[in-house]
């Protein structure tokens, strides 16, 4: 394991199992209806790809790039849309697929932004939830894991663009990011 990482929080096997359980929950809610996934770049890429492979419904997708972090480990609180959707979501069953809900600021902004486009249904699916850090009222409809207030990386999540390729979720040592 990398010297900047403290411990593995969630193993590759735990993640795979839970992602397929989330897919089953989504399929139970939507039966045979078509779904439109919106992956929030960059962190959700691995999660949305694995989730889509477990869902048996017809799924179309697009990505949005939204930023409030930059290269920092702390959110700036200012949300910017860096890449918008290429497709219309009006009348569609839309699921925002997010890697992690921390303060909730970015996701709440994105949810309100997309709600104005009149989807039939707008739900949120997140791999990780840190309710201790929440600063706004936002809740996911599908939650992979509720985790403690620790800085985590892996399975698409990064620290200054590093560690996205790890197949597990790991906790970063505080000294690795304290001065960043």
Alpha helix stretches (DSSP H) within 31-97: 45-54
Report the distance separating Cα 74 and Cα 79, nearest Å.
13
Report the distance separating Cα 151 and Cα 170, nearest Å.
8
- Given the residues 29, 102, 129, 141, the one annotated as active site: 102
Q: Is residue 111 within 8 Å of 85, Cβ to Cβ?
A: no
**ω into residue 154 within 30 of 0, thus cis?**
no
Q: Is 158 a catalytic residue?
A: no
Q: Which residues are catalytic?
A: 102
């Amino acid at each position: 394991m990398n010297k900047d990482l403290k411990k593995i929080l969630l193993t590759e096997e735990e993640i795979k199992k839970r992602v397929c359980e989330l897919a089953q929950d989504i399929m139970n809610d939507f039966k045979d209806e078509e779904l439109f996934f919106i992956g929030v770049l960059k962190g959700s890429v691995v999660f949305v790809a694995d989730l889509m492979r477990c869902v048996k419904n017809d799924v179309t997708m697009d990505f949005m790039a939204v930023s409030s972090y930059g290269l920092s480990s702390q959110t700036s609180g200012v949300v910017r849309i860096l890449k918008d959707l290429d497709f219309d979501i009006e009348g569609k069953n839309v699921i925002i697929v997010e890697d992690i809900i921390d303060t909730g600021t970015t996701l709440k902004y994105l949810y309100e932004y997309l709600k104005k486009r009149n989807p039939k249904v707008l739900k949120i699916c997140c791999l990780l939830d840190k309710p201790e850090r929440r600063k706004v009222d936002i809740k996911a409809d599908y939650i992979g894991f509720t985790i403690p207030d620790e800085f985590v990386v892996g399975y698409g999540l990064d620290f200054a663009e590093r560690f996205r390729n790890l197949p597990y979720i790991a906790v970063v040592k505080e000294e690795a990011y304290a001065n960043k």
